[in-house]
Structure 1
């Protein structure tokens, strides 16, 4: 059965403030953090599953995504980023500010080791465009202690695999240099890849690329399902009229096969406008959600059956995070709305208006 929420229904729900049903949701202690912008500047805010804002933390510039450990969370600046801010995820206190290293810029994402000691941040070398993972020691004031090459250009999201020994890195494959940081210089010859690196040594374990004819599929956002497979949300840099897949998965560092693409109903694929903005797995590890701010929609798949389940259309939706104990998602948009998706139903949370939510959300 394929569930869908019509454009009229979804946008109507997003335009109103409807309390979520159920005592459990209202009393949930789960917090979500999302970067935001607005007239007052940039920051990070934390809210609960009923939409109540618990704290706001100012940022020196536009934020993007996050990493978390047991003791802290890190907000990364939008690429090419000059800073990262370490903060207490419980109360929003700033703990440390990290400046980008010389000839390096943050690319918006990071991941901790399972013990929380080391932080890996995706970074680009300004003079060459090559990607690296900057390595920061969380036990020593987040001092930068080295870097690993990502074996590609334009690294974006990085995730620690369930084995705790492998990092999965999304190399977007686009050449950009410090002197012209938003100009894409190699679109005809892009080389995106999913790279698996050994946490302890940085050794390249495996690298997976789209077929040559799909080389303009920029691999940008990744998440991991309960089987340990890496789900991938992509952005196509070729013509908008090209019929290309945008969501795929790979079996992990021991999988010798290439990318497998998830089926998207034709009307939904066209509606994505060649752009996926964020990806998240549900709390039970079964459902994959992918958002598209350009396409104004979120799509959901059952990863056990590798089957498309649902679509909901929402203006400028991008941020998405799992409700930890179930098969639902919390989503945010650039118009200041927070909503919940569960079993095909979109319900708006009461907080709205004062924060214009940016690309990514994280449960903490």
Structure 2
């Protein structure tokens, strides 16, 4: 009986310790970092990183400025919770700005009996190596008892890589046949177009298929190695699967463009890209041995004719020169003979002078 009670006691102690530890771990996991005091303007904005932050009370119309850095292909997402410090409620604001201090997202919400929840997100393209985004949070009217900010940098890289696919031909990501996951920003960013480059063979057919996860109306375009459009396909309705294919006229590179802008989706668009090439390649056939022989023989014959022609031209030139000289000599001879005869005739016809016998 005593042994049984000892076992029960040990079990009870173990359960108490386990539950106490679980509570402590839960509290630690849910704890937020203290939000540092923000700046009073863009120029004095305070840098914060990814994490969950708990801020303090704010006065009527008091706002704070922060900034966060993000890489291309990283979705910046800010979630704010604002608690009013007035029985009449409060209007709360959370806005996101780009490096040029232009507003790119956010809103104003009211807090009464429950906190006001505001979320803003943005996905940048690959134009720069690093982006800076400003956060403006606080009271639009009436004081706040407290507020919190959850800052996340979600990696939305393309094609199972660690980078964002470029949005131009020169920055196109090189892929091969296969299935890939990728992201586009829709209206929530500047990453509205992804370019991919694939190696293709003449005679084959390049096929690309895009399957959006959600209601995005994506467009899909194929280009040849000269960056000339081969064929474009557009979603007939939001969420439509698009397939595009084109025959390859020349071996080399081809390009695939996937686009989703503000008209395509109001949210981040995740899609699957399937790339395949089908058919038999057409070999680049050169001249046959017979064609090469005939071509060489013709070239040699032409060279021989040219050589002989030059010789004949030289002979003809010499003969022509001799004939011309001969003609000139004969003409000169007859002219001189005629002139002499005329002179003799004049002498005979002239009368004698006085005193002559």
* Larger strand proportion of the pair: 1
- Band of TM-score, shorter chain: under 0.3
TM-score, with structure 1 as normaliser: 0.22
TM-score, with structure 2 as normaliser: 0.22
Point out which structure has higher relative CO (alpha carbons under 8 A, 6+ apart). 1
